[in-house]
Structure 1
Amino acid sequence: MRAMVMDGFRQQVEVREVADPQPPANGVVVEVRAAGLCRSDWHAWAGHDDIALPHVPGHELAGVIVAVGADVRRFAPGDRVTVPFVCGCGVCEWCRAGDAQVCPHQQQPGFTHWGAFAERVALHAADTNLVTVPDAVSFEAAAALGCRFATAFRALTARAHVRADEWVTVVGAGGVGLSAVMIAKALGARVVAVDRNPAALGVARTLGADHTVLSDGAVPDRVHALTSGGSHVSVDAVGSEQTCADAIMSLRRRGRHVQVGLLPTATGLSGVPMGRAIAWELDLLGSHGMAAVDYPAMLALIASGSLRPQALIERVVGLHEAASLLTRMDTASPAGMTMIDPRRGAA
């Protein structure tokens, strides 16, 4: 099969032929029809994750099962499926409680093993992790659910418990941030979107953002003015010390902050304005994907038309163009999601 292969960190990646994957006993092989190009993939390429080289990235995917392991009971070849980017083991106490997103034995395609920037990908613990994709949902829309959209959904619903008429400030109007804007509006909240890219803010407005703020300084002051005292909920969908601080400082007293964007540092520790968190009794929450068992509620909203993840897709590219885009994700400011179709450009 063709795959995008990393031979070194921060080096150019190459699209080349590699061996076809084989299904684990409890897993499957999926023919990839769509895979999302996400900033988390850039973190892997940059060396921020413990990854064995050579490596194939890609953790957001949807496709069709082409091979099934001997122990799989719920799925068969030909099934249309997607998968959360965190795949639980299926047997630990967290998986049994429905919290596979924090499984200590988790597998992550594109991180712990070869991922979806390829024509085929192997996935583990299929009966626990696979999600059936309805015929009415496109592969591109389903792939968007695996990380960014599902992460934003759980961050706002299960972690921050956003309520109607609350103010939600979303810092970062990329894939996660725009997903958060759309979901917050579907929940009846009022939204302030913050980004450095005017085009991304324009997309946020089309998705229902009540206000937009260009992140060129004094973001918290402007949010407090727009919301009469600060937002009830904030989301850092970027993952830097500045964006995290802007989101937290944009909260009103007793507000809730959800950190979604990764905060990589040399020490593994990140600067957070804890003085404000203590004085104003703020809740600081982490959110790490969403387990497969929680997908039905989100899929029901998509099927009803209340949520439209496909509206977040800016473009669809092949593996060769994606290889070029991956290495520039730290400086690019896409206004939406880029999806990869591995079949594009195939001989």
Structure 2
Amino acid sequence: MSIMKALVIIEPRKAEVRDVDIPEPRDNEVLVRVRACGLCQTDRHIYEGEFLAKYPIIPGHEFSGEVIDTGKNVDMVRKGDRVVIDPNISCGRCYYCRSGMKHLCENWQGIGVTLNGGFAEYALVPQENVYIMPRDLSFEAASLTEPLACIIHGIDRIGMAIGKTIAIFGAGPIGLMFLQLLRHFGASKIVVFDINDYRLEVAKKLSADYVYNPRDIDISKAIIDEVNRYGIDIVVEASGSLEAFKQALKIVGYSGRILVFGVPPRESEVGIRLFDVYRKEISIIGSFVNPYTMYRALDILRANIISVNDIITHRVSLMEILDILKGNIPRNAIKIVSVF
């Protein structure tokens, strides 16, 4: 059996790059030679022991590559196909799967979360989770497919954006892709908040109308005085910050919507004045993963609606990913991708 390099999180806060056996595909599985794998905040949560992972685990759920081998029953792809991976595996048998909500599967598993993922030279995936890439899309750009598919689901959840005033908390890769899509879909004003001034500069470049560092301003006052005295129609919380969610509750307008997209700490709780939710008809909406949106994400990437070069700022090795997981994050990083 051949050997490959893989980043393995042995247990929370303990990881290494090591030699492991290249897995062999079973009947319905596909062996993918990984070409690009994006680093996600979820990977950091897994490293810290703050997510749903099973250890030891090879993380990485945002990846693309080339089909190297297939099981005997695989008929959806063939050797040599350039592919991207949907990491979410549903059972197809539970109540939610049979009710059209496979992403809420009672037996949900995630490649790179509960099953080995893409921070390795090779990855094994079910054929149902493999999507053939457009020929003119690079492996690096395709590594954005999964997070972009999640964003599309989030936008589906909040509904029509045409003519709306929108605020986005967090100008990381998720917030910046939300910004570009919501602008494309007709938002009238978009406000972006982040504590990193470099990321705010990028948000301004990518068409944000207003950018603010919350450390420098009174958020509520800035919205009322400079953006819209009636408040924000749609707030996207893309940072996972409890303080950002508290601010979202303050600035959302009557009949407004708050999308909880950033992953908060599992045990976190936030006090809410229920009367405000009642009187202002505020909708607080969750969004989890990417049901039925992978093809749409590929089409959006192919149409160049997302500025990939502004999102992917660092291309690194597996050893560098390990260093970043331990907290040594490159300056001015937005999206970090391991390339093979």
TM-score normalised by the chain length of structure 2: 0.91
The C-alpha deviation readout for 1:147-188, integer Å capped at 9, x for no partner, is 2x22222212x1011322211111000111111111111111
Q: Is the 8 A contact 2:314 2:333 kept in 1?
A: no
Alpha-carbon separation, structure 1, partners of 2:118 and 2:61: 6
The C-alpha deviation readout for 1:25-81, integer Å capped at 9, x for no partner, is 322121111111111100000011243332211111111111222332211121111
* Equivalent residue, structure 2, for 1:289: 289
Alpha-carbon separation, structure 1, partners of 2:220 and 2:333: 23
Which letter maps to 2:153?
R
Secondary structure of the residue aligned to 1:52 is coil
Q: Which has the higher strand share?
A: 2
Which letter maps to 1:44?
I
Which letter maps to 2:158?
A
The C-alpha deviation readout for 1:191-217, integer Å capped at 9, x for no partner, is 101000000001111111111011215
Q: Is the 8 A contact 1:58 1:110 kept in 2?
A: yes
The C-alpha deviation readout for 1:109-164, integer Å capped at 9, x for no partner, is 1111111111111113x22x2222101111111111212x22222212x1011322
Pairing 1:40-79 to 2, within 5 Å after superposition: 40-79=42-81
Alpha-carbon separation, structure 2, partners of 1:230 and 1:96: 40
- Root-mean-square deviation over aligned CA pairs: 2.1
TM-superposed deviation, 1:106: 2.2
Which letter maps to 2:58?
V
Q: Is the 8 A contact 1:55 1:114 kept in 2?
A: yes
* Equivalent residue, structure 2, for 1:171: 169
TM-superposed deviation, 1:6: 1.6
* Equivalent residue, structure 1, for 2:327: 328
Secondary structure of the residue aligned to 1:82 is strand
Secondary structure of the residue aligned to 2:178 is helix
C-alpha spacing 1:306/1:50, structure 2 compared with 1 (3 Å): closer
Pairing 1:1-347 to 2, within 5 Å after superposition: 1-11=4-14, 13-90=15-92, 92=94, 94-95=96-97, 99-124=101-126, 126-127=127-128, 129-147=129-147, 149-156=148-155, 158-189=156-187, 190-216=189-215, 218-225=218-225, 226-265=227-266, 268-275=267-274, 276-291=276-291, 293-328=292-327, 334-341=332-339, 343=340
Q: Is the 8 A contact 2:91 2:105 kept in 1?
A: yes
Q: Is the 8 A contact 2:180 2:305 kept in 1?
A: no
Identity across aligned pairs (percent)? 28
- Greater CA drift, 331-340 or 178-187: 331-340
Q: Is the 8 A contact 2:237 2:261 kept in 1?
A: yes
TM-superposed deviation, 1:311: 3.3
Q: List structure 1 segments (4+ residues) > 6 angstroms apart after TM superposition.
A: none
- Greater CA drift, 91-100 or 70-79: 91-100
Secondary structure of the residue aligned to 2:168 is strand
Alpha-carbon separation, structure 2, partners of 1:72 and 1:20: 19
Alpha-carbon separation, structure 2, partners of 1:181 and 1:168: 9
C-alpha spacing 1:296/1:131, structure 2 compared with 1 (3 Å): same
TM-score normalised by the chain length of structure 1: 0.89
Which letter maps to 1:302?
L
C-alpha spacing 1:78/1:99, structure 2 compared with 1 (3 Å): farther
